[in-house]
């Protein structure tokens, strides 16, 4: 049962433009949502998170938006840079953080 879904396996964006990565979830018990970035041959790296009591969280070029009624979140990267090229995973958890559910990832390619 895939409780967190990333329906776009890949995304290609021009350098300097906005990258929008999407994620949907099915479990309304999730309280916390996270985005991870993964380069080849490395483990995922935490990028940004958002609590279910908020609808937006911003950190530099990265902003995560949460739409609880639609069970949808998105990661915006502005402006996109070639170094942002990686696989991005969306993840969700309840507040006890006992278990995390990950999406299947979106491979972002930022073209110079």
Partner 1 sequence: DTGVSQDPRHKITKRGQNVTFRCDPISEHNRLYWYRQTLGQGPEFLTYFQNEAQLEKSRLLSDRFSAERPKGSFSTLEIQRTEQGDSAMYLCASSAQAVSWSEQYFGPGTRLTVT
Residue ranges that bind partner 1, judged by CB under 8 A = 4, 6, 9, 32, 34, 36, 41-46, 49, 89, 91, 93, 97-105
Rounded Cα distance, 110 and 79, in Å: 10
Q: Which residue number, 62 or 102, has a Cβ lying nearer to partner 1?
A: 102
Q: Which residue number, 60 or 112, has a Cβ lying nearer to partner 1?
A: 60
Q: How far is the CB of 10 from partner 1 (least distance, A)?
A: 11
Q: What is the dihedral of CA 85, 86, 90, 96, to 10 degrees?
A: -120
Residues in the chain: 112
């Amino acid at each position: 049962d895939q409780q967190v879904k990333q329906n776009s396996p890949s995304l290609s964006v021009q350098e300097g433009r906005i990258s929008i990565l999407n994620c949907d979830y099915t479990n309304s018990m999730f309280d916390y949502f996270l985005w991870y970035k993964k380069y080849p041959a490395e483990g995922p790296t935490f990028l940004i998170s958002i609590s279910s009591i908020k609808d937006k969280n911003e950190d530099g070029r990265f902003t995560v938006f949460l739409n609880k009624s639609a069970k949808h979140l998105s990661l915006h990267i502005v402006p996109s840079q070639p170094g942002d090229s990686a696989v991005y995973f969306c993840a969700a958890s309840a507040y006890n953080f006992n278990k995390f559910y990950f999406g299947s990832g979106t491979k972002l390619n930022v073209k110079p």
